[in-house]
Structure 1
Amino acid sequence: MDTQPVPGRPDHLEVSYLARPQLRPLLVLAGFLVLYPVGGLAGIIPFWLACVGIAVMAVIIVIGLVAALRSHGSAPVLCLDPAGVTVAGAPLVPWSDLRGVRMGPMQPSWLVGSTRYVTLALLPRDGVELPGPPHYRGRPQQWGRWQRLRLHGTNLILLPAAMSASAEDIVRAAERWGGLPVEQVPYRPLRTWALLLGVGIAFGLAAGLLVTLTFLVD
């Protein structure tokens, strides 16, 4: 992907969100959406449960679609320059407040880890509070702070797959202007047997819940 330097200021890297990468997960959800009416009409699941599933999935897809379309072509949400890192709507974070960049899979990697979706975690020094990830509305993301700190060790994480700059571009900027060390987190692909076991357990729990709900309704 191409980076977006500020016109007339080659030592600045501005990053925006792109719509297309955010639409791919919605296509997967749309596939699951089709399963509900099929299951309801075939009598595999109760008709009322199929209607609830359709409504919930439809709302999720619409919200995701609106967010993706609004973020496309929006103003830059992140800027890296010799002074530091700026998340739109938050004060500048000087390079001296950061101790490194961690590059690896999304967390928890056993569930959402993929070589396609690289996560960059900007690690703060002790006592430094970082803003949340950039939001397309021009302010840092507020929700999910505790989870980001627990999974990534920082509040400021980036998902370059949805941005106009690649992970390599952002890492090079951090190395060049901030002198930050980059830590590579290895990918640990899930074993086939573990994947099958997890899917089996998930289906078993879903079936048990379905039977329970059907019994309560009847």
Structure 2
Amino acid sequence: MAAFLAFELYFSLTGQFETWLAIAAPAVFVVALSLAVVTLVRSRGKPWQLRCTIEGVQARGFDLVPWSALAEVRFSPFWPRWLYLTTSSRHRVISFIPREPGTVPTTVVFNALPIRTTSSSRLARQRTKIRGSPFIVLTSTVDATPAHIANSIRRLTDVPVSGQVP
């Protein structure tokens, strides 16, 4: 951050930046940094992202989905692979496939703050088409490994677990 501000100050003083750009660039940087800090602070106060219990599975902020409402739990790799070059190959996407459409929440647990989307019906159709369910979890965002999650689900319920579990 200090290097960015030093370069920005140098370019401003030498006249290589317009005045409005010299003011706008650090302001945008400060806003982005503030959002990152807020997200980090909020995530520290939330100890769990995904909870698997004997009753069912729950993403933080959403209702519990009973195991009886699920037809399958599918593990699949990230794809396209080139889009996830920074992600370890051991991470997976978990799709909770419902028996009937509309019985699972439309959410992606992919960061510290699970999101509800404003256009959830369109995104739910897209996720269902691509992953088989609108309720997906990226294992890179939870503390447990994919193998641990799969073993826990097998221990808690008889819902089939399929796909590539490392």
Q: Secondary structure at the match of 1:102?
A: strand
Q: What pairs up with 1:78-157 in 2 under 5 angstroms?
A: 78-98=50-70, 99-105=72-78, 109-112=81-84, 114-116=86-88, 118-131=92-105, 132-133=107-108, 141-143=115-117, 145=120, 146-147=122-123, 149-151=125-127, 152-157=131-136
Amino acid corresponding to residue 59 of structure 2 in structure 1: V
TM-score (norm 2): 0.64
Amino acid corresponding to residue 121 of structure 1 in structure 2: S
Amino acid corresponding to residue 58 of structure 2 in structure 1: T
Greater fraction helix: 1
Q: Deviations over 1:99-157 (max 9, x none)?
A: 2223321x5543235442543232223423322245867xx621274446525343222
Q: 1:150 to 1:113 in 2, by over 3 A?
A: farther
Amino acid corresponding to residue 123 of structure 1 in structure 2: I
CA distance in 2, matches of 1:80, 1:110: 31
**Which residues of structure 2 form unaligned runs of 5+?**
none
Conservation of the 8 A alpha-carbon contact between 1:77 and 1:87: yes
- Matched with 1:60 is 32
Q: Deviations over 1:52-73 (max 9, x none)?
A: 4443343223212211122125
CA distance in 2, matches of 1:136, 1:72: 8
Conservation of the 8 A alpha-carbon contact between 1:102 and 1:122: no
- Matched with 1:165 is 144
TM-score (norm 1): 0.52
Conservation of the 8 A alpha-carbon contact between 2:73 and 2:97: yes
CA distance in 2, matches of 1:115, 1:124: 27
Q: CA RMSD in A?
A: 3.8
How many equivalent pairs are there? 151
Q: Secondary structure at the match of 1:123?
A: strand
Q: Taking every aligned residue pair, what percent have the same amino acid on both sides?
A: 25
Q: Which of 160, 175, 181 is residue 161 of structure 2 equivalent to?
A: 181
